[in-house]
């Protein structure tokens, strides 16, 4: 009932002409009060005729100033400093105009006593300033008190950052109608601000605030980081401390993301798991990449996927002649087309990009595309990557990951592309599944083509945070639905990298590749998936195993506990100019040998005998040993 009354009240607004009438009434009232004060509150001393003459004179000038500066057009209940400044300008300019006219009239000696005295005008100016601006803030304060009824339990909040953004965040929280926030303190690293107050709220140090005793005493539930430019290392430290204390962390978005320049409580973002796994920023030789891509025709296959779309965004910043984006997914490529064609930041020329729906398995279609566009550089990101699905569909895994790659690589040679960059995976190393083995065969074929005019480069890295089908979006969806969060095994670990840094390294590796190269990225430390699930639950403000359960489901078909980036017996790491990129020297097969194997696979594909197909894959890739799969019987027989 209370909420309905408040909602009904909050939807009504006072007419701007009513506000204008009220402001002009204040002009009349303050002039009368000023004259009364000058006459020591003796009304008999006021000459009614002279007073009304003064009033008419002052009234029209101030009314004109209000109309010119539109002081009445703002919403009173949301009066801001800019509204107050507009009122200040209107009143001050009105006062200055009146004074100028009074001075001029006195000099030309017009009718004595027809003008207000200087003391009356000055006093009225001060009273009008206080009453007009003050009345607006009084209305705003009363409205906030009436409408900010604590319908829900009070939420204790500390704000990291005692600057302008911190104050705006505090005001935004207090204006929120859905929750009842109470800002306990501001945190700031500036020692000169310690033990001071900001709008009546104490500023305390980071070490004082994030103590269990302080958190418990003030019942702090949330910490809001209001410094968008905070160093990643510092941000990570704060988030980790809050998670250990059971405090939910939110972040104020960048200023350009505020709606119409105003911050809304619903815009406060949860901290993303990517920020906890983030490493030092990767420095890219952008000049080298720019030289590589400038004025070139670039073809990206699998362009609507996580990697392909980010490659497209980054390639477009390096002045290419044309970018051809190809994907078999109609809806996905349409979404990318809409994004890029409506991106004001990139100012994409519609003639610069071609969006094509096509499948890399279709040799005729790919030949036609290559003949029309004649790409200089090909980034081959099209692939099937889901391990359990490909374990059940080895035919499709081979058709796309092996034969699709072969078609694109052969056409790159035929049409004399300068460079072919293939996106591979850490699952190609000592593969335990169909997907990984198919990518390893593709790597072997790419390597065997190294002696032609086209330079072939392979880039190999682990899991990409936030990519389609990765654990992060899955966990996020499970948490938002109340759990449980499912993991295959508590001991399973994976390497992770953000989409942006992975694509940056692909461009850098592609620029430095001379042919017959397999580049391995420094993925940092392996992450335990169980720990990842725990932190994501905590970031949502829940307690793992209490609010959200974590359920162990067992390894899926083809999965293994640990991933490697190197074939330990046959690969050696060599440094490159970039500290995050290493060159793996692999003893590959000749073109004749690989072609013979692929021809044999082709014959088996036609027969559609999955076990025979997988047996041949194990012959091509001797280190391919199936795990948790129906194809393990082939390893036992061997």
**Token pair of 260 as six digits:** 């119409």
Percent of the chain with pLDDT over 70: 82
Contact 577, 561 (CB under 8 A): no
Between 269 and 566, the more confident residue is: 269
564: number of Cβ within 10 Å: 16
CA distance 499 to 513: 21
Contacts of 49 (CB under 8 A, 6+ apart): none
Identify whether 625 is part of a domain.
no
Contacts of 526 (CB under 8 A, 6+ apart): 493, 494, 495, 562, 563
What is the end-to-end Cα distance of the chain in Å, rounded? 75
164 and 143: one domain?
no
CA distance 556 to 473: 18
Q: Which of 147, 179, 204 is the last residue of a domain?
A: 147
Name the pLDDT band for 64 (thresholds 50, 70, 90). confident
Q: Which of 244, 271, 298 is the last residue of a domain?
A: 271
Q: Which helix (H) or strand (E) holds 91?
A: helix 81-107
Identify whether 615 is part of a domain.
yes
Q: What is the pLDDT of residue 11?
A: 54
**Token pair of 225 as six digits:** 């980081």
Q: Which of 95, 112, 147 is the last residue of a domain?
A: 147
376 and 510: one domain?
yes
Identify whether 591 is part of a domain.
yes
459: number of Cβ within 10 Å: 27
Whether the bond between 484 and the residue before it is cis, its omega within 30 degrees of 0, is yes
347 and 421: one domain?
yes
Identify whether 53 is part of a domain.
yes
Q: What is the pLDDT of residue 565?
A: 59
Q: Is 217 exposed, middle or buried (0-12, 13-18, 19+ CB in 10 A)?
A: exposed
Q: Is residue 316 scored above 80 in pLDDT?
A: yes
Q: Is residue 179 scored above 80 in pLDDT?
A: no
325 and 192: one domain?
no
Q: By three-state DSSP, how is residue 459 classified?
A: strand
Contact 10, 41 (CB under 8 A): no
pTM of the model: 0.68
Order across the sheet with 322-327: list the strands.
353-357, 322-327, 297-301, 377-380, 419-425, 455-461, 517-521, 581-586, 571-575
Identify whether 557 is part of a domain.
no
Name the pLDDT band for 259 (thresholds 50, 70, 90). very low
Q: How many domains does the chain have?
A: 3
φ and ψ at residue 152, rounded to 5 degrees: -125, 170
Identify whether 12 is part of a domain.
yes
CA distance 69 to 67: 6
Q: Is residue 266 scored above 70 in pLDDT?
A: no
Identify whether 542 is part of a domain.
no
Q: What is the pLDDT of residue 380?
A: 95
**Token pair of 382 as six digits:** 């099209």
**Token pair of 462 as six digits:** 């682990």
257: number of Cβ within 10 Å: 11
359: number of Cβ within 10 Å: 17
Between 348 and 598, the more confident residue is: 598
For residue 533, which of 482, 495, 478, 481 has the smallest C-alpha distance? 478
26 and 63: one domain?
yes
Domain housing 94: 2-147
456 and 323: one domain?
yes
CA distance 18 to 540: 47
CATH number at residue 201: 3.40.50.720
127 and 177: one domain?
no
346 and 247: one domain?
no
Q: How many residues does the chain have?
A: 638
Identify whether 527 is part of a domain.
no
76 and 37: one domain?
yes
For residue 166, which of 186, 180, 150 has the smallest C-alpha distance? 186
Q: Active-site residues: which are they?
A: 427
Name the pLDDT band for 267 (thresholds 50, 70, 90). low
248 and 317: one domain?
no
What pLDDT, in 10s, does the model give residues 394-435?
899 999 999 999 999 999 999 999 999 999 988 888 888 999
Give the chain's mean pLDDT: 79
140 and 164: one domain?
no
* Strand ranges for 474-523 from DSSP E: 485-487, 493-494, 496-498, 517-521
For residue 378, which of 334, 416, 351 has the smallest C-alpha distance? 416
What pLDDT, in 10s, does the model give residues 475-525?
888 888 887 889 888 888 887 777 888 888 888 888 877 777 788 877 777
**Token pair of 426 as six digits:** 């850490």
For residue 405, which of 467, 466, 447 has the smallest C-alpha distance? 447
Between 330 and 282, the more confident residue is: 330
Q: Is residue 46 scored above 70 in pLDDT?
A: no
Q: Which helix (H) or strand (E) holds 32?
A: helix 16-38
Q: By three-state DSSP, how is residue 518 classified?
A: strand
Q: Is residue 326 scored above 90 in pLDDT?
A: yes
Contact 353, 297 (CB under 8 A): no
Q: Is residue 51 scored above 70 in pLDDT?
A: no
571 and 435: one domain?
yes
Contacts of 314 (CB under 8 A, 6+ apart): 500, 503, 504, 507
């Amino acid at each position: 009932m209370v909420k309905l009354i408040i909602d009904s009240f909050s939807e009504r607004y006072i007419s701007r002409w009513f506000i204008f009438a009220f402001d002009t009434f204040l002009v009349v009232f303050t002039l009368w009060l000023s004259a009364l004060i000058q006459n020591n509150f003796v009304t008999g001393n006021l000459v009614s005729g002279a007073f009304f003459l003064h009033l008419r004179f002052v009234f029209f000038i101030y009314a004109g100033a209000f109309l010119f500066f539109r002081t009445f057009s703002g919403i009173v209940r949301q009066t801001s400093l800019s509204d107050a400044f507009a009122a200040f300008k209107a009143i001050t300019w009105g006062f200055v105009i009146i004074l100028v006219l009074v001075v001029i009239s006195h000099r030309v000696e017009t009718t004595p006593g027809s003008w207000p005295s200087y003391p009356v005008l000055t006093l009225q100016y001060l009273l009008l300033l206080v009453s007009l601006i003050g009345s607006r803030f009084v209305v705003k304060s009363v409205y906030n008190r009436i409408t900010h009824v604590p319908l829900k339990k009070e939420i204790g909040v500390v704000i990291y950052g005692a600057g302008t953004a911190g104050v705006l965040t505090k005001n935004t929280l207090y204006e929120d109608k859905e929750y009842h926030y109470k800002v306990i303190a501001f945190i700031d690293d500036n020692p000169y601000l310690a033990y001071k107050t900001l709008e009546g709220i104490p500023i305390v140090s980071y070490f004082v605030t994030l103590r269990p005793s302080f958190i418990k005493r003030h019942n702090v539930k949330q910490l809001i980081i209001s410094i968008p430019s905070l160093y990643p290392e510092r941000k990570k430290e704060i988030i980790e401390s809050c998670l250990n204390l059971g405090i939910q962390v939110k972040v104020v978005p960048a200023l350009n993301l505020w709606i119409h320049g105003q911050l809304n409580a619903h815009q406060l973002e949860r901290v993303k798991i990517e920020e906890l796994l983030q490493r030092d920023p990767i420095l890219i030789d952008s000049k080298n990449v720019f030289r590589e891509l400038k004025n070139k025709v670039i073809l990206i296959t699998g362009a609507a996927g996580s990697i392909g779309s980010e490659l497209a965004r980054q390639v477009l910043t390096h002045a290419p002649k044309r970018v051809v984006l190809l994907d078999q997914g109609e809806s996905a490529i349409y979404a990318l087309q809409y994004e890029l064609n409506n991106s004001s930041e990139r100012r994409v020329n519609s003639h610069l990009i071609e969006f094509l729906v096509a499948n890399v398995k279709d040799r005729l279609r790919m030949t036609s595309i290559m003949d029309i566009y004649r790409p200089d550089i090909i980034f081959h990101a099209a692939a099937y990557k889901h391990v359990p699905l490909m374990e059940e569909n080895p035919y499709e895994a081979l058709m796309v990951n092996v034969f699709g790659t072969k078609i694109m690589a052969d056409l790159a040679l035929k049409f004399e592309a300068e460079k072919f960059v293939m996106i591979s995976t850490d699952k190609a190393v000592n593969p335990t599944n169909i997907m990984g083995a198919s990518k390893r065969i593709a790597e072997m074929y790419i390597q065997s083509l190294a002696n032609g005019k086209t330079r072939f480069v392979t880039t190999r890295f682990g899991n990409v945070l936030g990519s389609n089908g990765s654990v992060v979006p899955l966990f996020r969806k499970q948490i938002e639905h109340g759990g449980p969060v499912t993991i295959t095994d508590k001991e399973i670990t994976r390497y992770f990298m953000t989409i942006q840094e992975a694509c940056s390294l692909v461009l850098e590796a592609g620029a430095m590749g001379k042919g017959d190269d397999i580049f391995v990225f420094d993925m940092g430390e392996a992450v335990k998936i169980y720990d990842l699930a725990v932190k994501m639950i905590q970031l949502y403000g829940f307690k793992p195993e209490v609010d959200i359960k974590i359920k162990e489901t067992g390894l899926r078909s083809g999965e293994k506990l640990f991933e490697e980036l190197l074939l330990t017996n046959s690969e050696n790491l060599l440094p490159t100019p970039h500290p995050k990129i290493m060159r793996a020297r692999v003893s590959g097969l000749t073109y004749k040998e690989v072609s013979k194997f692929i021809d044999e696979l082709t014959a088996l594909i036609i027969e559609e005998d999955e076990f025979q197909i997988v047996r041949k894959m194990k012959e091509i890739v001797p280190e391919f040993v199936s795990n948790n799969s129906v194809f393990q019987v082939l390893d036992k027989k061997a």
